[in-house]
Structure 1
Amino acid sequence: MKPGALALVALMALPAVAEDMEAIYQARFKATTANGGYIPEYAPQEPVAGAEQVVPLPVAASGKLTVDEAALDRAEEYARANNSTAFIVWHKGKIQRATYFGDVTAATPLTTMSLSKPMTALAVGRAIKLGYIDSLDQPLSDFFTEWQGTPKASMRVRHLLDMRTGLLPQAYSPDPDHPLNRAYLSPEHGKYIVEEYPLVEAPGSVYGYSNATADLVAVLIERATGQRYGEFLGGEVLAKIGAPGGSQWVNRPGGMAHSGCCAYFPAETYLRMAILLLKGDGIAGEQLLPDGYVKEMRTATPQNPHYGLGLWIGGEYIARRSFAGPHASGPKVLHSEPFVDKDIFMFDGNFNQVVYIEPNFDLIVLRVGKNPPKSPEWDNSFLANTLARAVKDRNPG
């Protein structure tokens, strides 16, 4: 742990009163700066309940795999070589391979970075289904009344999920007073984003990836439902799909959730989310999401043809894709070849945390873990394509 991190954790665990807020923020900023711009500890965490009893997912029997075993071995070795903590392949209702590396087990809660963002889209969809939110096109100012009569009033619910709020996009700043840092590290980050975070473009006009935008979903859910974000997510999403619970990063004990990043859940929780999306708007005989909601999630916007509602979309082939948008500079994720499944969509987060959902093959591939080595470079098409080609009963046409 980096210098200052222990003090950071201690401060994070303290109940935040008004006079402590700035001291807590400054300690977090100092520790994050010392850690190369990454917060060294996503704390405090608040428990999120899942299913009361998790029924194991069916596992394909030895000798009855529906994905070629040699390909599973190659894919597992690729995951191992790239610092993975969990690797799961699910096909047509059964787990074909589930491998955990090091001390990690199926029950280990793992932080999977921006895999939290698809969760926000599921939470919003569930809130719409239950009538707490009218639709994806409801004005956010109905809930964020502070925005009424301001340029932010034209922002819609969908803009929180497709990253078109027009709010300041993600970047790095060494300035402790910069809005990017306040919005991320403040023990009142939700209040800060609503009241202070700058609008830099007209809502709906540009794509701008940011944790601040995704973190607003927690504020929306809490204002719309009257429940804490983790309580709603656990009871109305995770429990409904039979998923294990875990914990949610919050800005202070009893405070607002960071819905856009860095919760801790077992890998299977993300697999079950993917199964829900593969099957459509419901699971186990219950419709959990509004009609056509998953189709909306899988639909890109004109501003970014590779991003829908919390989901990344295969779309037209490009060799390198940036999280920051089609025309952004900076690091880009390598895709050495087009995806075999032209309709693929995925959860995708920092450190190449990824869940590929391949509807044309009834296939899901999950890889989560630490940052892969810089060389050879991570290839974001390798696992999905290796395993799609290895489905035994696939239609070659």
Structure 2
Amino acid sequence: MKRIGWAMLLVACCIGVFLALPSNYYLRRALTHFLPKIDQYPIFENRIVKAGDPSPWQQAKAYNTCSIPDKYLPVFNNLGTVAYVVIQDSTLLFEQYWEDYSPESHSNSFSMAKSIVSLAVGCAIDDGMIRDVDQPVSDFFPEFGGYNGKPLTIRHLLTMSAGVDFQEAYSSPLSPTTQLYYGDDLRKIAFGMKEIAEPGINFIYQSGVTQLLAFLVEKATGENISSYVSRKLWTPLQAEENALWSLDKKEGMEKGYCCFNSNARDFARFGQLILNNGYWNGKQLISESYLKEATTPDTTLLFTEYNETNHCYGFQFWHLNYKGMDIPYMRGILGQYVFIIPDKNAVVVRLGHKRSKTRTSQHYPDDIDTWLAAALDIMEQSKQHNNCK
């Protein structure tokens, strides 16, 4: 028994020494905080994305005259919804909050931030700081020279077809995804990726690729991505609240693949911008041609996970078809969504703690059907106030 006790003590000491190594900073944090949560931004350093010209949404005449139909509430509640907002005809039609969340509460975007990085790329192209989406990445970072003579381009990064060795995994504390989230050296991980396959062939979802895009935006524009997004998007979109973009360390780099912290009303502005084809208050913030390509699936790619043509991913934006309507959308791992519904001139935002683990035939989480169906019901009911139930 004494030998067993000493052996256990020795193992514990070895583990302690291993975790104490500076290179395992991310692992100590992962074991402390476990899986990511929507309200974790205070554990990170954050950079302010300034809202320099705030203006509230105009309320629709039927604002909050309807409620979420009872048949949808079990999914809303079981998946821990904290915010649900419906914008129609550029006005705030409906909003509801749960727990202690409010219109001003910050919640993590998770991978919806990927879409924001894509919008920043579009702005940088409009500004002439990036030539176009087919510009080689090596123009900015020579270490990414391509594979077997085929250059790696910005398009390949945008469409998640880079052919690099990043392994996306959320449950393992040793995965590069965990290192990105809890670590303090995003550059080491992003620039540590190796080109192992021809780019532009396979759609493989990789957060490290978006992080490299964020570094590229920083390099191209000469300013941190928080400042650039504030100047080109957040302030012109008249966001009501400053956002917080989590960093890897103090004065460090934004976690571009995730971790843009804001509220449902202001997240909706990104959707409205797409609905407006890049216009806001009469000003073109981003080119219509870029947005059209960004929100259209690249069907030249193979969706490797399912061994079929890619019909669901463009330039860091997802896409689905619901009841005959083509809907581009932003998506985060814990059920963060911004849906753009052109057929209804509407934007729908859902924020929460969880999403469904079940997928539809289009390979999207099936909780999405609930958020869209509820929004369509609310929009229909709002036409007849007396029929709201």
- How far did 1:138 drift? 0.9
- How far did 1:137 drift? 1.1
Q: Which moved more, 1:218-227 or 1:29-38?
A: 29-38
| Aligned twin of 1:239 | 235
Misfit runs of 4+, over 6 Å: none
Is the alpha carbon distance of 1:44 and 1:106 closer, same or farther for their aligned partners in structure 2, counting shifts above 3 Å? same
Q: Structure 1, residues 265-323: CA drift from partner, whole Å, max 9, x if none? A: 122221001000111022111111124111101211222211111211114xxxxxxxx
Is the alpha carbon distance of 1:57 and 1:72 closer, same or farther for their aligned partners in structure 2, counting shifts above 3 Å? farther
- How far did 1:25 drift? 4.1
Q: Which moved more, 1:163-172 or 1:218-227?
A: 163-172
Does structure 2 retain, via aligned residues, the 8 Å contact 1:109–1:266?
Answer: yes
Distance 1:199 1:286 in 2: 40
| Aligned twin of 2:350 | 367
Q: Which moved more, 1:32-41 or 1:381-390?
A: 32-41
TM-score of the superposed pair, with normalisation by structure 2: 0.79
Question: Does residue 1:51 correspond to 2:51, yes or no?
Answer: yes
| Aligned twin of 2:338 | 355
Question: Does residue 1:227 correspond to 2:223, yes or no?
Answer: yes
Paired residue type of 1:344: I
- How far did 1:180 drift? 5.1
**Residue 133 of structure 1, aligned match among 130, 135, 139:** 130
Does structure 1 retain, via aligned residues, the 8 Å contact 2:108–2:262?
Answer: yes
Structure 1 SS opposite 2:134? coil
Question: Does residue 1:268 correspond to 2:256, yes or no?
Answer: no
Paired residue type of 1:60: A
- How far did 1:247 drift? 1.0
Is the alpha carbon distance of 1:52 and 1:73 closer, same or farther for their aligned partners in structure 2, counting shifts above 3 Å? farther
| Aligned twin of 1:284 | 281
| Aligned twin of 2:315 | 309
Does structure 1 retain, via aligned residues, the 8 Å contact 2:107–2:261?
Answer: yes
- How far did 1:159 drift? 2.0
Distance 1:27 1:164 in 2: 30
Is the alpha carbon distance of 1:234 and 1:83 closer, same or farther for their aligned partners in structure 2, counting shifts above 3 Å? same
TM-score of the superposed pair, with normalisation by structure 1: 0.78
Is the alpha carbon distance of 1:289 and 1:269 closer, same or farther for their aligned partners in structure 2, counting shifts above 3 Å? same
* Matched residue count: 344
Q: Structure 1, residues 238-288: CA drift from partner, whole Å, max 9, x if none? A: 111111321111111111111011221122221001000111022111111
Question: Which stretches in structure 2 are left out of the alignment for 5+ residues?
Answer: 1-19, 303-309, 359-364, 383-389
Question: Which stretches in structure 1 are left out of the alignment for 5+ residues?
Answer: 1-21, 316-338
- How far did 1:121 drift? 0.9
Does structure 1 retain, via aligned residues, the 8 Å contact 2:51–2:235?
Answer: yes
Is the alpha carbon distance of 1:310 and 1:179 closer, same or farther for their aligned partners in structure 2, counting shifts above 3 Å? closer
Is the alpha carbon distance of 1:68 and 1:233 closer, same or farther for their aligned partners in structure 2, counting shifts above 3 Å? same
Does structure 1 retain, via aligned residues, the 8 Å contact 2:144–2:195?
Answer: no
Distance 1:152 1:25 in 2: 34
Is the alpha carbon distance of 1:38 and 1:235 closer, same or farther for their aligned partners in structure 2, counting shifts above 3 Å? same
Distance 1:50 1:74 in 2: 39
Is the alpha carbon distance of 1:71 and 1:189 closer, same or farther for their aligned partners in structure 2, counting shifts above 3 Å? closer
| Aligned twin of 2:189 | 192
Give the RMSD, CA atoms, in angstroms: 3.0
Structure with bigger gyration radius: 2
Q: Which moved more, 1:140-149 or 1:242-251?
A: 140-149
Question: Does residue 1:79 correspond to 2:76, yes or no?
Answer: yes
| Aligned twin of 2:326 | 343
Is the alpha carbon distance of 1:80 and 1:179 closer, same or farther for their aligned partners in structure 2, counting shifts above 3 Å? closer
| Aligned twin of 2:114 | 117
| Aligned twin of 1:30 | 28
